């Protein structure tokens, strides 16, 4: 007989060990916003071929958010913590991204 596998509880990691200090997060996000706005201005000046690429960024952003949520869950963050940062309930966060786990 083999012993049952025990999965570690995500909330068992102390908060001090879960938090990872990130530098330049605000600057990086501002840079990404500037690029996206510049792309929109380029399309607005008549580059109709780039409209499809601009729209595809929306799907890429949704994928990136999903990947970030999965990573945060693996890092030990609760649905409530993730939801609160997004301004939604824990239930809404769990319903939206739990299928990715």
Instruction: Tell me the pLDDT tens digit for each residue of 21-39.
Output: 666 788 999 999 999 999 9
The pTM of this model reads 0.71
- Token output for 26: 């605000």
- Which residues 6+ apart lie within 8 Å of 69 measured at CB? 82, 93, 97, 100
Distance CA 18, CA 10 (A): 10
Q: What percent of the chain has pLDDT over 90?
A: 72
Q: Where are the domains of the chain?
A: 25-100
pLDDT the model gives residue 25: 87
Distance CA 36, CA 29 (A): 11
Average pLDDT, the chain: 86
């Amino acid at each position: 007989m083999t012993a049952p596998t025990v999965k570690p509880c995500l909330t068992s990691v102390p908060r001090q060990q879960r938090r990872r200090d990130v530098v330049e997060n605000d600057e990086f996000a501002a840079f990404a916003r500037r690029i996206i706005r510049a792309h929109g201005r380029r399309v607005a000046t008549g580059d109709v071929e780039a409209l499809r690429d601009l729209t595809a960024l929306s799907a890429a952003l949704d994928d990136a958010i999903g990947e970030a949520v999965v990573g945060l869950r693996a890092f030990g963050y609760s649905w409530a913590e993730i939801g609160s940062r997004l301004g939604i309930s824990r239930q809404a966060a769990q319903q939206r991204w739990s299928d990715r786990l």
